[in-house]
C-alpha cells in the first residue's frame, strides 16, 4: 500500500495499492494486444476518445483540483492553472492538429531518382512507458499520454509514488472516458515498480524527473536500444536589464521563483540584475515577496512543499551559501525553520558561482540574486551550469532581448515573462545539456511516438533501372553524367545524353 499524506496538513488522506512487480509482463501483454486494435483507428477516431476525456475533466474540474491540491500541497489556483489547463489545452492541440501532423506527406524526389514518388509516413511505436513526477502530477503525466495515445500507441503510466492520488485520479478519468481495455494502464508504486517497468522492454520511454533517475533510465534503455525522451531538471536564469519594466520584472520574479513553492523544473533559480538598478530592484522584489500569502486556503499564493526529502536539499544549499558569506534578504536560517512542509520564501544575495545554490537545482522557494555588469558577462554566467532548460530576459530593448536569447544555451527562452513557453503547445519543449534529451509538445511531441517511415514508390512498369546490374561499360558514362549534373552550371544537354547512353546499356 502507498500511504497518502497531505503535505500541507500532515493528515493521511488515502491508501493506494501498489502494482505487484509480478504484473509487469501482464501489463505489457495487455498493452500489446490493445495496440493491435487501437493503432488501426484513424487519428480522428482516437480523437473522439480524447474529447470524451476532455468533457469529463471539464465536468469534474473542481474535484480534480481538490485531489491535486491535497496530494501535492500546491494552492488550488495553481492546480487549476498549471495542471488542469495545460491538460485540456493538450487535448485541443492533438485533436485539432494531430491528423495534419501525422498525415502521410509527399516530399520532393530528386531528378536522379526520376520516375519515382517519395512519402513520409508516421507509424505508432507500440506500448509507451510514461514515468511521471510529483510536482505537476497531472500535466506532466497527461500531456505525453495524450500525444502517445493520439498517435496510436497504448500507454503504461507509472505516476510518482509521492502523489499517488493524482495517479489514481488519472486512471479513473480514462476508465470513465471509456478507453478500450488495455489502451491506458496505470502501474502504481515507487522506484522499484518504475525500474521493473523500465526493464520490461517498452517500445518507448518518456521520462520526466530528476537528472539522477534520467541517467539510470537511459542506461537501462540503452541495453535494448529503446528510444527515450528525458525531461529533467533546470537551474533557470532570469536576467533583468536596467531598461526593463522594473515593477513587472519584480512581480514576475516573485511568481516565477515561488510558484509551486519553487518545485518547478523551469522556476527562476538564479536572478541576475543589472548593477545600476540592483538596490532599487531588490527592494521592489522584497516588497512583492512580503505581500505573498502562504497557506492552503483558496486565496493563498504559495502552497507547501510536496516531497519531504526536498526540504533537506533546500536546507543544505541555503546552509552552504550562508556559511560561505551569503546574506539572507528575506527568509529564515534553516535552524529557525518551523516544522512542517511550508518553507519560508527565501532570497539571498552575496552569492558566487561556486556555491551549490548557483550550480545545483534547488526545487524549492530559494532565490539567489546576483548583480550583473554587462551583457556579455551575464550570458556567460547564465550558461555556466550543467543545465539548460529555460531562461528569461527582461528589457524594453527588443533587439537586445533577442540577441541575448539567441546566445543562451537553453531549450527555451522567454522575453519579459518566465516559464510560460511550456503553455504553448505549438512550441517544442525540452532541455539542452543535462536538462534532457528530446522534445515534446509541438509537432515533434506527437511525432516522437511514431516511427518516421520513408517510402519511395515506383510504378513498376520499367524492366530495369540504370543503377542496377550489369555495370559493364557504365562507369565512364556515370562519371560524365554526375559531372554534368553536379558541376557549378548544370549541363542539361550532356546530362540527358549520358542518361540515355546508360539506359541503352541495360
Rounded to a whole number of angstroms, the minimum distance from the CB of residue 191 to ligand ADP is 3
Cβ nearer to ligand ADP, comparing 225 with 309: 309
Residue 155 CA to residue 127 CA, distance in Å, equals: 6
Cβ nearer to ligand ADP, comparing 93 with 158: 158
H helices of 21-111, in order, are: 24-38, 43-59, 61-72, 76-79, 85-102
Q: Does 217 bind ligand ADP (CB under 6 A)?
A: yes
Return the closest-CA partner of residue 446 out of 179, 127, 94. Answer: 94
Return the closest-CA partner of residue 281 out of 246, 244, 327. Answer: 246
Stretch that binds ligand ADP, among 126-134, 240-248, 283-291, 375-383 (CB under 6 A): 126-134
Cβ nearer to ligand ADP, comparing 49 with 197: 197
- Can 169 be counted among the known catalytic residues? no
263 neighbors 363 (Cβ within 8 angstroms): yes
Q: Does 437 bind ligand ADP (CB under 6 A)?
A: no
Per-residue DSSP letters for 275-291?
A: GGGHHHHHHHHHHHHHT
Q: Does 216 bind ligand ADP (CB under 6 A)?
A: yes
**In degrees to the nearest 10, what's the CA dihedral of 87, 266, 9, 174?**
20
Kindly name the residue from 70, 161, 171, 265 that is annotated as catalytic.
265
Ramachandran angles phi, psi of 376, nearest 5°: -60, -45
Burial 339-369 (b: 16+ CB within 10 A, else e): eebbbbbbbbbbbeeebbbbebbbbbbbbbb
Residue 336 CA to residue 331 CA, distance in Å, equals: 10
Q: Does 213 bind ligand ADP (CB under 6 A)?
A: yes
The residue within the footprint of ligand ADP, chosen from 191, 400, 403, 474 (CB under 6 A), is 191
Ramachandran angles phi, psi of 128, nearest 5°: -100, 130
Q: Does 199 bind ligand ADP (CB under 6 A)?
A: no
Q: Does 501 bind ligand ADP (CB under 6 A)?
A: no
Cβ nearer to ligand ADP, comparing 174 with 272: 174
Cβ nearer to ligand ADP, comparing 33 with 210: 210
The residue within the footprint of ligand ADP, chosen from 98, 126, 152, 194 (CB under 6 A), is 194
Rounded to a whole number of angstroms, the minimum distance from the CB of residue 498 to ligand ADP is 59
Q: Which 8-state DSSP code applies to residue 137?
A: T
**Which residues 6+ apart lie within 8 Å of 116 measured at CB?**
109, 456, 457, 458
Q: Which 8-state DSSP code applies to residue 467?
A: T
Rounded to a whole number of angstroms, the minimum distance from the CB of residue 166 to ligand ADP is 11
Q: Does 131 bind ligand ADP (CB under 6 A)?
A: yes
C-alpha cell at 407: 546566445
Site string for ligand ADP, 141-180 (x = CB under 6 A): -----------------x-xxx------------------
Q: Does 190 bind ligand ADP (CB under 6 A)?
A: yes
285 neighbors 369 (Cβ within 8 angstroms): yes
Written in H, E and C, the secondary structure of 312-333 is HHHHHHHHHHHHCCCEEEECCC
Residue 68 CA to residue 124 CA, distance in Å, equals: 31
Rounded to a whole number of angstroms, the minimum distance from the CB of residue 423 to ligand ADP is 22
Rounded to a whole number of angstroms, the minimum distance from the CB of residue 90 to ligand ADP is 19
- Count of residues binding ligand ADP (CB under 6 A)? 19
Rounded to a whole number of angstroms, the minimum distance from the CB of residue 220 to ligand ADP is 7
Residues that bind ligand ADP (CB under 6 A): 131-134, 158, 160-162, 190-191, 194-195, 198, 209-210, 213, 216-217, 307
Active site residues: 231, 265
Amino acid at each position: 500500500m502507498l500511504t497518502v499524506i497531505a503535505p500541507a496538513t500532515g493528515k493521511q488522506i488515502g491508501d493506494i495499492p501498489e502494482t505487484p512487480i509480478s504484473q509487469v509482463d501482464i501489463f505489457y501483454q495487455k498493452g500489446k494486444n490493445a495496440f493491435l486494435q487501437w493503432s488501426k483507428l484513424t487519428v480522428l477516431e482516437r480523437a473522439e476518445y480524447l474529447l470524451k476525456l476532455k468533457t469529463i475533466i471539464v465536468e469534474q474540474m473542481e474535484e480534480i483540483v481538490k485531489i491535486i491540491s491535497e496530494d501535492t500541497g500546491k494552492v488550488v489556483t495553481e492546480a487549476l492553472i498549471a495542471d488542469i489547463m495545460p491538460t485540456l489545452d493538450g487535448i485541443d492541440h492533438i485533436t485539432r492538429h494531430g491528423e495534419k501532423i501525422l498525415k502521410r506527406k509527399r516530399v520532393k524526389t530528386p531528378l536522379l531518382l526520376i520516375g519515382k514518388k517519395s512519402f513520409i509516413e508516421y507509424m505508432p511505436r507500440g506500448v509507451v512507458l510514461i514515468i511521471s513526477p510529483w510536482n505537476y502530477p497531472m500535466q506532466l503525466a497527461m500531456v505525453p499520454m495524450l500525444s502517445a495515445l493520439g498517435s496510436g500507441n497504448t500507454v503504461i503510466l507509472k505516476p510518482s509514488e509521492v502523489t499517488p492520488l493524482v495517479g489514481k485520479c488519472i486512471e479513473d478519468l480514462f476508465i470513465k472516458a471509456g478507453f478500450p481495455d488495455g489502451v491506458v494502464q496505470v502501474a502504481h508504486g515507487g522506484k522499484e515498480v518504475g525500474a521493473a517497468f523500465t526493464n520490461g522492454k517498452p517500445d518507448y520511454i518518456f521520462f520526466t524527473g530528476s537528472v539522477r533517475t534520467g541517467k539510470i533510465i537511459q542506461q537501462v534503455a540503452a541495453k535494448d536500444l529503446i528510444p527515450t525522451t528525458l525531461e529533467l531538471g533546470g537551474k533557470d536564469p532570469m536576467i533583468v536589464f536596467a531598461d526593463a519594466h522594473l515593477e513587472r520584472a519584480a512581480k514576475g520574479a516573485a511568481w516565477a521563483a515561488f510558484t509551486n513553492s519553487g518545485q518547478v523544473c523551469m522556476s527562476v533559480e538564479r536572478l541576475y540584475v543589472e548593477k545600476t538598478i540592483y538596490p532599487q530592484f531588490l527592494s521592489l522584489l522584497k516588497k512583492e515577496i512580503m505581500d505573498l500569502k502562504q497557506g492552503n486556503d483558496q486565496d493563498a499564493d504559495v502552497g507547501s512543499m510536496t516531497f519531504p526529502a526536498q526540504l533537506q536539499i533546500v536546507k543544505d544549499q541555503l546552509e552552504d551559501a550562508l556559511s560561505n558569506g551569503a546574506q539572507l534578504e528575506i527568509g529564515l536560517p534553516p535552524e529557525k525553520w518551523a516544522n512542517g512542509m511550508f518553507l519560508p520564501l527565501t532570497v539571498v544575495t552575496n552569492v558566487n558561482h561556486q556555491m551549490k545554490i548557483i550550480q545545483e537545482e534547488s526545487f524549492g522557494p530559494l532565490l539567489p540574486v546576483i548583480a550583473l555588469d554587462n551583457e556579455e558577462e551575464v550570458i556567460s554566467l547564465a550558461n555556466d551550469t550543467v543545465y539548460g532548460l529555460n531562461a528569461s530576459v527582461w528589457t524594453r530593448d527588443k533587439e537586445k532581448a533577442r540577441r541575448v536569447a539567441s546566445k543562451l544555451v537553453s531549450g527555451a527562452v522567454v522575453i519579459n515573462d518566465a516559464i510560460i513557453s511550456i503553455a504553448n503547445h505549438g512550441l517544442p519543449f525540452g532541455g539542452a545539456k543535462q536538462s534532457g534529451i528530446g522534445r515534446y509538445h509541438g509537432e515533434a511531441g506527437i511525432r516522437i511516438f511514431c516511427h518516421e517511415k520513408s517510402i519511395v514508390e515506383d510504378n513498376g512498369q520499367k524492366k530495369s533501372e540504370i543503377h542496377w546490374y550489369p555495370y559493364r561499360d557504365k562507369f565512364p558514362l556515370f562519371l560524365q553524367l554526375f559531372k554534368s549534373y553536379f558541376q557549378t552550371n548544370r549541363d542539361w544537354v550532356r546530362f540527358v545524353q549520358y542518361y540515355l547512353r546508360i539506359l541503352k546499356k541495360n
